[in-house]
Amino acid sequence: MLIIGIAGGTGSGKTTVARSVIHRLGPDKVTFISQDNYYKDHPHLSLAERELNNYDHPFAFDNELLIQHLSLLKAGQAAQAPVYDFTIHARSTSESVELRPNKIVIIEGLHVLSDEKLRALLDIKVFVDTDPDVRILRRVLRDIEERGRSIQSIHDQYLGTVKPMHEAFIEPSKKYANLIIPEGGHNEVGVELLTTLTEKYLTRG
Ligand code: CTP
């Protein structure tokens, strides 16, 4: 099983890169995992308290569960990934996603490269490197359209936690990448390179 990790800041285009590579490789060959689904749950906190959490620090993620699921997949067993609901800052109680063992696993997320234990499991390490102004613009649109946020809350969160955590943990994790893809999914050559590299690894067995 080949494991590819795709890291990068918020709104960098990690998901688009992953989806483009999966499309090129053939969806049947790839199991896709979003680190976002492994956000820790805080059922003891109220919604107002959960809104104030720092969701950009590496500790916000349950990477132990993610690593456990990767081990199951490596052993040829399926795993049930949680599903995260950004509109209520909580793990969905009714949904889960079945992860099946496969030739290729792609994991995308903010801290896929900053976590040492997770990084050690990756065969190909990718960092999607997109300018901060482009990333924040994408985030504003997405958070309003899909995550039920106000412009004021996006502003406060970005300056309060998103930007400082990006500078402290995400940007420095770029040095661990084997491949840096500027501008994400719109970089056809970068996506093609990652696809070809993956195919080459697969034929090597
Ligand atoms: N986040 C949030 N509220 C939560 C949990 C997470 O606002 N309850 C935010 C964090 O602040 C973090 C972001 O979600 O910055 C992580 O998602 P992001 O990387 O932006 O989304 P992807 O679609 O995975 O990435 P990309 O746009 O690169 O495809």
How crowded is residue 40: how many other Cβ atoms within 10 Å of its Cβ? 14
Indicate the DSSP class of residue 61: B
Using one digit for the tens of pLDDT, what is the confidence trace for 130-158?
999 999 999 999 999 998 899 999 999 99
58 CA from centroid of ligand 1 (Å)? 12
Domains and CATH numbers, the chain: 2-199 (3.40.50.300)
Between CA 86 and CA 93 the distance in angstroms is 13
Consult the annotation and say whether 10 binds a ligand: yes
Q: Which residues contact 149 (CB under 8 A, 6 or more apart)?
A: 143
Q: How far is the CA of 36 from the centre of ligand 1 (A)?
A: 7
Q: Which residue from 10, 112, 154 has its CB within 8 A of the most atoms of ligand 1, so it is best to mutate?
A: 10
Whether residue 97 is predicted with pLDDT greater than 90 in this model: the reply is yes
What does pLDDT average to over the chain?
95
- State ipTM: 0.95
